[in-house]
Amino acid sequence: MLKRLEGFIEPGSEEEKLVNQIDFSQLPHHVAVIMDGNGRWAKKRNLPRIEGHRAGADSVREIVETCARLGIKILTLYAFSKENWKRPKKEVVTLWRLLEEYLKKEDKVLVKNKFRLLVIGERDKIPLSVQKELGRVEKLTENYNNLTVVMALNYGGRSEIVEGVKKLLREKEVDVEALDEETFSRYLFTANLPDPDLVIRTSGELRLSNFLLWQIAYSEIWITPEFWPDFRRKHMLQALVDYQKRERRFGDIHS
């Protein structure tokens, strides 16, 4: 077992058995997660929906630590979609408040461990106090590279592509014939980030929910029935074991 996993993975546990199946030289560089099922988790327990979001924050902490200890370099979390504004106003307001509180509490953890925070999405629609806090923590951690935690906030894959086209068209000198996929990728929110190798979706739903539509063209997808508040390091390890059993061909044919 890797030294950095000592004290984090209990000897003889199911997690240790999973760790022993992982080839650490073949880990995904970038893992993206559709964190789904907070509301259903709460409903199942006869709790207010917001309690599901509170519980989900614990999963975020554990999965961030798990990725860092394993050596995964980028973790993208789908935290708030453009469609989430359709939810009850009280729930939306509380969600943004919880995020603001989370940033104020977790900034020290990010700094201590040299984790970088990066935000993607249409920031101008985010409440101003949250924008300010996001900007503060991004600035605070901009030079760290142990793990980059990307938060997708007020994000939608289709609108990201549209915004990318708008940015492209605003440039006066655009050589249309020279435009290729690599060049266009620089106009997206994820410019300078590699595409995800692995996408994880919780709650068992079989859809992409408008998440990183351009970037996940060749990502491996792993779906678990667990609601996000129940998702823990064991499930992350299961996803990695399954990922490493797959042959990534990118449209080619391998013998």
Q: What CA–CA distance (Å, rounded) separates 118 from 190?
A: 10
Rounded Cα distance between 22 and 241, Å, is 6
CA pair distance 197, 219, nearest whole angstrom: 5
Q: Based on the residue annotation, tell me whether 230 is a catalytic residue of this protein.
A: no
Q: Which of 20, 23, 36, 38 is catalytic?
A: 36
Selecting among 84, 107, 113, 210, the annotated active-site residue is: 84
Burial of 234 (0-12, 13-18, 19+ CB in 10 A): middle
CA atoms in the 13 A half-sphere facing the CB of 100: 14
User: How far, in Å, CA of 35 to CA of 121, rounded?
Assistant: 16
In three-state form (DSSP H/G/I as H, E/B as E, the rest C), the secondary structure along 11-75 is CCCHHHHHHCCCCHHHCCCEEEEECCCHHHHHHHCCCCHHHHHHHHHHHHHHHHHHHHHHCCCEE
Asked about 36 being catalytic, the answer comes back as yes
Active site (catalytic) residues: 36, 84
